[in-house]
Amino acid sequence: MLFLSALAVLLAGSSLASAGTPCASLKGRELEKYNSLGANAVKLYRDGNFTGAISSLVELRDICDEDPVIVYNLARAYEKSGNCNMSRFWYEEVMARDESTFGALVEAQKVTAAKSIARLEEQCRDSARIVVECEAGATATLGEVLAGACPLKGRVDAGQYALTISAPDKVSVTTDAEVRPGEINRIFALPLAGFVADSAFGGLHVVCGEGLSTVAITNTSGERQELNCGSSGEQPTGDYTASIADRGVDVAFTLAPGSHTELHIVVPAPKEVQLEMVRDDTLLTVGWTFIGVGGGLLAAGAGLHFGAASMRDAYVAPGKVSASGVVESITQKDAQSKEDTAQLFDTIGLASAGVGGALVIGGAIFLLLAEETVEPPQVSLSPTNDGVFLSYRSAW
């Protein structure tokens, strides 16, 4: 192939000619894609974009892994990018190649690979080889240093990593992985569980107390259905509200996919109870205090009001009545002064009487409130380990 020759000349030297034609089985569009990726890898490598070249080379190897040049060039590209671990890994893959195919090319590559491995062993002493065995179609991600399709192979620095296995329509799993130096770390991942469809069902069993025959459940869409007490069956998963007819009691619960939920409903029959009569000493104290102060203000206000009236009766403008009943002459100024004083007493008296009356009324209200209190009806809803438990207590 033209691609093989170009890449071999670019990265391995013109003397590394292919002894045969790898990936000869590729035809049509697959062959076109292979050659296009190869040409792109050559361009990216020449431009110094080693990360891009690595990406194209990995795609090439996924299409056909027969070409020894791709493996060798992956090692070279990783070394150029500064990734000692993965460069060493791919040089080791070169060393593991069978020389029976493309013998001269592979033999020449191994000479260079052996020298490179010796050099890289000094650069990344803590390097460890790792193999993650996981289901086909899944992707493995080891921290932020290594990722790829399963099975995932490579080299990383020894240490602790978060290993994530993911796949389309599957539940991803993340675990801790310890990678030890000087050995091949092989990790086996269990198959991933599939997602449960939104339309999955959960089991529901209705348990009722005495006096109940049916319970209504309503989903978030407003769809309501009556369930007989003691019935069991499957319902679509989701959030529900269980209601007790004519009792005004409801409680929310959730049906999870594949779960079994028991709905326990107990509603004791209402019973007559004796209302407890109690007195509130604080309200009594406040009430009597208001009445006492209010009564005093009311009396004082009345006294001032009637005193002002008497003061006005003692004067006849423009004179005043003497002790003998004779009207004596007074000035207009004195008459006005006496009238102002009477008006002031009258205003203060009426205000005091008003405030006092309000306090008396307020005190009476506090006394009434302090007489008795009644416990109101109560409703309690409480979850249990087995499901949902409703209790209802009323009093009248």
Assess whether 97 and 3 both reside in one domain.
Answer: yes
Residues 35 and 14 in one domain: yes
Residue 241 and residue 250 in contact, taking contact as beta carbons nearer than 8 Å: yes
Do 135 and 117 lie in a common domain? no
Task: Report the interhelical angle of 103-123 vs 68-81 (nearest 10°).
Answer: 20
Q: For residue 394, what pLDDT is reported?
A: 32
Of 256, 259, 263, 266, nearest to 242 by C-alpha is 263
Does 379 map to a domain? Answer: no
Classify residue 43: in a domain, yes or no: yes
Assess whether 27 and 70 both reside in one domain.
Answer: yes
List the pLDDT tens digit at each of the 396 positions of the chain: 434 444 544 444 332 233 347 788 888 998 899 999 989 999 999 999 999 999 999 999 888 888 889 999 999 999 999 999 999 999 999 998 887 777 788 888 989 999 999 999 999 999 999 999 999 889 999 999 999 999 999 999 999 999 999 998 888 889 899 999 877 899 998 888 765 554 567 788 888 777 778 888 888 888 888 888 888 888 888 888 888 766 666 778 888 777 778 877 766 555 444 444 455 667 677 777 877 787 777 777 777 767 766 666 665 444 455 555 555 555 666 666 767 776 777 788 777 777 877 877 877 786 677 655 444 444 344 444 344 444 333 332
Alpha helices per DSSP H over the chain: 2-7, 28-46, 50-63, 68-81, 84-95, 103-123, 281-313, 332-369
70: left (phi over 0), alpha (psi -120 to 50) or beta: alpha
Tell me the two tokens of residue 264. Answer: 């326990």
Is 77 contained in some domain?
A: yes
Report the predicted TM-score, pTM, of the whole model to 2 decimal places.
0.48
One domain for residues 237 and 287: no
Q: What's the pLDDT at 263? A: 78
- So what's the pLDDT on residue 182? 79
Pair 2, 118 in one domain: yes
Per-residue DSSP letters for 276-323?
PP---HHHHHHHHHHHHHHHHHHHHHHHHHHHHHHHHHTEETTEEE-T
Question: Whose CA is closest to 392, among 275, 242, 266?
Answer: 266
Q: Output the domain CATH number for residue 133.
A: 2.60.40.10
Q: What is the CA radius of gyration of the chain?
A: 49
Q: Is 160 exposed, middle or buried (0-12, 13-18, 19+ CB in 10 A)?
A: exposed
Token pair 């000035």: residue: 331
- 144 in a structural domain: yes
Half-sphere exposure of 112 (CA within 13 A, CB side): 21
Count the domains in the chain.
Answer: 4
Residues 6 and 95 in one domain: yes
Domain final position from 167, 195, 223: 195
DSSP code at position 170: B
Residues 6+ apart with CB under 8 A from 310: none
Alpha-carbon gap, residue 23 to 42, rounded angstroms? 18
Question: Both 115 and 130 in a single domain?
Answer: no
Based on the fold, state whether residues 216 and 260 are members of the same structural domain.
yes
Residue 53 shares a structural domain with residue 164: no
Indicate if 13 and 91 belong to the same structural domain.
Answer: yes
Token pair for 314: 């003692």
Do 119 and 131 belong to one domain? no
Domain of 22 in residue numbering reads as 1-123
Q: Which of 140, 169, 195 is the last residue of a domain?
A: 195
pLDDT in the model for residue 315: 54
